[in-house]
Amino acid sequence: MQKTLSAELTKLSKNKVKLEITKENYEAFCSAVGLFRKEFVETLNKSEADHRSGRITMRKSLLEITDKA
């Protein structure tokens, strides 16, 4: 059964939005957006290994990555 999440969405400016959820809904939120998926966790582990070994590239924005795709 799918759980309904409640959140408060506040527009801070033209380019920023603030999303607030309760501690009780945090796990359900993470699950809903896929943060517990095996593939996502594996990607995080690989990223941490790259960072520890010094293979990092400083980025100002995620748009730098998506524009090159």
24-44 residue pLDDT tens: 888 888 888 888 899 988 998
Q: What is the mean pLDDT of the chain?
A: 82
Residue 46 inside a domain? The answer is yes
- Is residue 10 within 8 Å of 17, Cβ to Cβ? yes
pTM over 0.75: no
Residue at 2 is within a domain: no
pLDDT of residue 2: 59
The total domain count for the chain is: 1
Give the domain range for residue 59. Answer: 8-68
Q: Is residue 1 part of a domain?
A: no
**25 domain residue, yes or no:** yes
Is 23 part of a structural domain of the chain?
yes
pLDDT on residue 46: 92
Q: Is residue 54 part of a domain?
A: yes
Q: Report yes or no on 50 lying in a domain.
A: yes
List Cβ neighbours of 11 (8 Å cut-off, separation of 6 or more). 17, 18
